[in-house]
Amino acid sequence: MTEEIAYADLEFNKSYAQENIPKPPTPEEKGLLTSFPWRLAALTLLTLCLALTVGLLALGVIFFQVTSICQEENVKLKEKEKALQTNFSSTLEEIRESLCLEGEAKNKNNGMSCILCPTNWQRMGDNTCYYNSSEKKTWNGSRNFCASQNSTLLMIKDKEKLENVSRYCIKEHYWIGLSRRNTERPGWFWEDPTALSTSEKGISIYRRNNPCAYLWDKYIYVDQRCDENNFWICEKAPLQLWFTDNQ
């Protein structure tokens, strides 16, 4: 009886063990387990590719939008530049008309010349700027004032200039740039310093020892003391500008 029970237990245990032994996967199951990681990787890569494609499309849209905006701004800037050039040309023309003494179309680039004199200076019939004082100084004081304005006392070496300047002068004495103060060189000298020529007409010379000359009416006199106070006239070359149209 005992042997039968033991045999029955052995058979039961054997049957139980056989039932609980893991079964090897079938070929279909093996294929499914093997392909699952690759499918997951492929799905991940596909997702990444789609994301990159969407990102590139978005960047492309942004790029074209920015390009379009830049082109529009470029067109606006060109229009503003053209308007500024037009306004600048108009402003230059207004300056030329209001300030320039004369203009000549003789520049090789078809530009216009403009002759300017400083404030309180005037042009008296030639290409020279003149300053007619409204106060009186000695000859040296007048000379120093002209030097401070980068000019010289008036020098008159021909009759035409004498007549042009005299039309703008009231009947007063005006110091001019003619003297004989240089003891090393006897005679009368202009400020440039060239000697007074006997061919210069319209000059009235009085035989006196006073070394400074002045203008009165249409005559030059060389008979006054240099320490007396008179009006004076300075002269200098005008500023010449060129307005060039390069458009």
User: Do the Cβ atoms of 236 and 112 come closer than 8 Å?
Assistant: no
CATH topology for the 116-241 domain: Mannose-Binding Protein A; Chain A (3.10.100)
pLDDT of residue 104: 44
pLDDT of residue 109: 40
pLDDT of residue 233: 95
pLDDT of residue 137: 96
**Positive or negative: CA dihedral 216, 220, 225, 226:** positive
pLDDT of residue 93: 67
Which segments of 171-211 are extended strands (E)? 174-179, 189-190, 203-204
pLDDT of residue 25: 55
Domain boundaries in the chain? 1-99, 116-241
For the chain, 247 residues long, the average pLDDT of each consecutive 10-residue run is 52 53 54 60 80 82 82 83 78 64 44 75 84 94 95 89 83 90 73 77 60 86 87 90 58
Q: What is residue 183's DSSP assignment? A: T
